[in-house]
Structure 1
Amino acid sequence: MIAAPTRPWLILAGLALGVTVTNGFARFAYGLLLPAMKSEMGWNYAQAGWLNTANALGYIAGAVLTMGLIRRVRPSVLFAFGLVTTTAALLATGLVTALWWQTLWRILAGVFGAMSFSTAGALAAQLFHDDPRRNALAIALLFGSGGGLGIVLAGATLPVLLGIWGYAAWPWGWVLIGALSLASLPLGLWAAGQLRPPRQAGQTAPALPLRRMLGELAGYAGFGLGYIVYLTFLSAWMTEQEAGPGFIALIWVILGSCIFVSPILWRPVLARFASGVPLTLILTGIAIGSALPVVVPGGAALILSATIFGLCVFMPPGAITSFSRQNLPPDSWGAAISFFTVVFAVAQTIGPYGAGLIGDRFGDIGVSLLAAAGILLVGAALALLQRPLAGN
């Protein structure tokens, strides 16, 4: 039996700050800095996409490593270690501008970010474990508020910094992101220390029923393939449409704010369904948000796109965490979420580089946004095939 922790909401806030660092900063701040880095380095879209593919390759390694360690090392230790090392990698990204070093830091941010992110869900699943509705809210808040805060902070500062100091100031953007990550460490590390599930020493975790989870796994793979295109290339696409730094900042703040409040929207859905329905609905929303600014050009469409996308994009991790919690025994949660993370990580390696190639081929990164929307809709259809795992 897992003991109920004291001060669960403060613990959740600390875990959410970990998500702020590993996702809001480590993965998505690059999209805000990409136009400046692409211009200053003379990259094409494929080269620009490569750095997020490098980050995704590191994420695969981190997810696989976490799967191997989760039975030997407490999730709280993995979370804390990943949080500290991701922060160090973000600071280092602003210190050396050569592509080789940038690739290394992006890979390391992926390795350590995956370690912290994939254990955050397993840790949050311990909160309110006797209250399904509160547990669903905690899981949704973990991913929504954590990621949303990171995108709001990055979106409100980085375009303005580049607008004032010019594209050559992009290394200082990474230094700023690293400093914000450092400020998140105390509460994040404290939260991890409050959650210490019993080790399963000498025991083997129940085998995951992977064949019966194929719908959810396939849907999550579609999420990994499609969502990253929007967050990688949105600022570059807006820059090509001659959007100013103030409007770019506004769009990202709207996006992050909607991510922040998205748990309120999705909490009842996550609590009600033990099937693939939540993931299907979420992926459909992400697809609509991705396609909308290309199909209906203009500032109003971009605002609506950021709103819809933001209300959905951080909820797939909450959906698979809730699915695991409702369908699997507690000692399988960490392994299940780690396996989902590996599937997601493999899928998202293709997205940024592939989208960059499509953008170079057509001379328009908007085509890549449409292709990503199509992939997300396929993932939504596959997730709809997922049924509850009866008997658990």
Structure 2
Amino acid sequence: MTGNPQKPWLVLAGLAVGVGVTNGFARFAYGLMLPAMKAELGWNYAQAGWLNTANAAGYVIGAILTMMLIRTVRPTHLFAFGLVTTTIALLATGLVTALWWQTTWRALAGVFAAMSFSTAGALAAQLFRDDPRRNALAIAILFGCGGGLGIVLSGAALPILLGVFGNAAWPWGWVLIGSTSLAVLPLGLWTATQLHTPRGADIPSPPLPLRRMIPELCGYAGFGLGYIVYLTFLSAWMTEQAAGPYFIALIWVLLGSCIVVSPYLWRPVLARFASGVPLTLILVGIALGSALPVIVPGNGMLIVSATIFGLCVFMPPGAITSFSRQNLPPESWGSAISFFTVVFAVAQTIGPYGAGLIGDAFGNIGVSLLAAAGILILGAVLALMQRPLER
């Protein structure tokens, strides 16, 4: 990028809108509609997890495409294209109930969302380049506020919609979030016109020191494997515990609200450490939030769980973006974040379906939440081994 834009905070808001659509809506709203779709269509847990696995598989393809295209296509163009096509995919998902249609559009939503999400982090890293504290805050706000607001809106609307109109109303849930994405699309597209980033091929980019980044990469893979289980099956697990739609909505709104404020909690940590410490601390928090409601059942512990989980879950992308910014030259940021995203996406693909199989085997999806917590702790241990890189 040649200089900072004139309205950097408004530009950041546009980038955050993109994260809200590609993460808050395209990836996580499914967890809110899963109980209704599972009951209405007669699925088991493995089948229910399959749709998020299809979405994650699409995300792998999108992440790899982004890593290839970023050499010849400007990141702003990839961001805008991903935002428009993800919106179309969300609207299309609600039009036909057949499993093949759902699988197709969940996978395509993953492909398109990865393009926008991968480039959003690299674009935010370019803001406030001469002010490390504000740069760290911008990166944290991007992932926290963007995805958090998407989850707040989804959590406030979808459980109530299904509670009032019944499980058969789930297709309207997709139409609703697709329409909301369409309404915020102009701000995201305006952002792409305000940033002037060169193509990767226009600037020399040294090879990434991947061997020295292995602990951080392994920690991020652990995040991809573990976090998605909670967000995929939380509503289904709460429904099994006889939670009503209004309490489910409360938990998701609380979860999303904590995601929104999480950047302010983690900003000092991201700015201070160039090592794997931020990712380690974040993963421990996500693991604790995943395990608590199973270990200590009850509505009160669900509130504590959602609070801890929400304060941590959207910060790993901020941690690896900050790690890349502090340890690599600017011309490597885009390729580094894209590579991290591919590693994350591959790991994320296994999580939902594997968790569904475990839930079917034990007849209790809570066992899957505990398994996910164990994987997250392992990722935290590995990330702790990451040391700052010498440029």
TM-score normalized by the length of structure 2: 0.99
| Aligned-pair Cα RMSD in Å | 0.8
2:215 match: 215
- The AA in structure 2 aligned to 1:291 is A
Post-superposition, which runs of at least 4 consecutive aligned residues in structure 1 deviate over 4 A? none
The answer to whether the 8 A contact 2:203-2:331 is kept is no
Secondary structure in 2 matching 1:274: coil
- The AA in structure 2 aligned to 1:74 is R
The answer to whether the 8 A contact 2:218-2:383 is kept is yes
- Asked whether 1:276 is paired with 2:276, we answer yes
Partner Cα separation in structure 2 for residue 369 and residue 117 of structure 1 = 26
Partner Cα separation in structure 2 for residue 154 and residue 228 of structure 1 = 17
Unaligned 5+ segments in structure 2 are: none
The answer to whether the 8 A contact 2:86-2:112 is kept is yes
2:342 match: 342
Secondary structure in 2 matching 1:89: helix
Secondary structure in 1 matching 2:43: coil
The answer to whether the 8 A contact 2:15-2:142 is kept is yes
- The AA in structure 1 aligned to 2:5 is P
Deviation string, structure 1 residues 307-351 (Cα, Å, up to 9, x no partner): 000000000000000000000011110000000000000000000
Unaligned 5+ segments in structure 1 are: none
Partner Cα separation in structure 2 for residue 295 and residue 150 of structure 1 = 29
Partner Cα separation in structure 2 for residue 210 and residue 335 of structure 1 = 12
Number of equivalenced pairs: 391
- The AA in structure 2 aligned to 1:30 is Y
2:48 match: 48
2:154 match: 154
The answer to whether the 8 A contact 1:46-1:356 is kept is yes
Partner Cα separation in structure 1 for residue 84 and residue 202 of structure 2 = 29
- Asked whether 1:25 is paired with 2:28, we answer no
The answer to whether the 8 A contact 1:279-1:319 is kept is yes
The answer to whether the 8 A contact 1:216-1:276 is kept is yes
Secondary structure in 2 matching 1:72: coil
1:61 match: 61
How far off its partner does 1:184 sit?
1.3
Q: How does 1:99-138 map to 2 (within 5 A)?
A: 99-138=99-138
Q: How does 1:1-392 map to 2 (within 5 A)?
A: 2-201=2-201, 203-390=203-390, 392=391
The answer to whether the 8 A contact 1:91-1:174 is kept is yes
How far off its partner does 1:205 sit?
1.6
The answer to whether the 8 A contact 2:74-2:200 is kept is no
The answer to whether the 8 A contact 1:2-1:126 is kept is no
How far off its partner does 1:186 sit?
0.5
Partner Cα separation in structure 1 for residue 162 and residue 285 of structure 2 = 31
Higher alpha-carbon deviation: 181-190 or 192-201: 192-201
Secondary structure in 1 matching 2:265: helix
Identity, in percent, stands at: 82
How far off its partner does 1:201 sit?
3.7
The answer to whether the 8 A contact 1:285-1:308 is kept is yes
The answer to whether the 8 A contact 1:151-1:252 is kept is yes
Partner Cα separation in structure 2 for residue 126 and residue 167 of structure 1 = 44
- The AA in structure 1 aligned to 2:239 is T
TM-score normalized by the length of structure 1: 0.99
Partner Cα separation in structure 1 for residue 200 and residue 250 of structure 2 = 48
Partner Cα separation in structure 1 for residue 189 and residue 80 of structure 2 = 6
The answer to whether the 8 A contact 1:219-1:382 is kept is yes
- The AA in structure 2 aligned to 1:86 is T
How far off its partner does 1:227 sit?
0.0
Deviation string, structure 1 residues 181-230 (Cα, Å, up to 9, x no partner): 00110101111211112334455421000000001000000000000000
Partner Cα separation in structure 2 for residue 216 and residue 202 of structure 1 = 28
